[in-house]
Amino acid sequence: MTNEEIRGELQRAIGEERVMLFMKGTPDAPRCGFSARVTQILNTSGAEYSAMDILPDPRIREELSGISGWPTIPQLFVDGELVGGCDIVTEMFESGELADTLGVERGGAAQPAQSSAAQVPQAPPLQID
């Protein structure tokens, strides 16, 4: 797959998926603490989202950062717009702003649940082949 094809797949995912998370690993098996934190927050929020693992090919991360202008992973997009990474998503969650952005009800919790029992079932992660 060429860099242009990878970029096209990333842009398609950002444009077609209402809530799109680019992360290290998958929601069921995050491969870094920051990605785990954002998936916990999204699951706690009750938001439906799609996710893509950026680890299979280093060009995915390179092309994604070229699109977003954001160097770190994870990256959360809502309605085609970059929301931010772990720190921003965490701050937005704690203030209640994330619930508004996601269009979900504000929860009373100040911290995301640690239990996997609270997770919302998600679609399989998107992949670039």
* Opening angle at CA 105, ends 23 and 75, nearest 5: 15
What are the residue ranges of helices labelled H in 21-123?
33-45, 58-68, 86-95, 97-102
The pLDDT score that the predictor gives to residue 109 is: 43
Q: Above 80 in pLDDT, residue 45?
A: yes
Query: 90-117, pLDDT tens digit by residue?
Result: 999 999 999 999 999 886 444 444 433 3
At 13-37, the pLDDT tens digits run: 999 999 999 999 999 999 999 999 9
What is the reported pLDDT for 112?
43
Residue 123 has pLDDT above 60, yes or no: no
Mean pLDDT of 60-80: 97
For the domain 3-103, what is the CATH superfamily, name and number? Glutaredoxin (3.40.30.10)
**Looking at the predicted structure, is the pLDDT value of residue 70 above 90?**
yes
**Structure confidence by residue, pLDDT tens digits, 48-64:** 999 999 999 999 999 99
Q: Which two tokens stand for residue 1?
A: 């797959």
Q: Give the count of beta carbons closer than 10 Å to the beta carbon of residue 8.
A: 14
Three-class secondary structure of residue 40 per DSSP: helix
**pLDDT tier for residue 125 given thresholds of 50, 70 and 90:** low
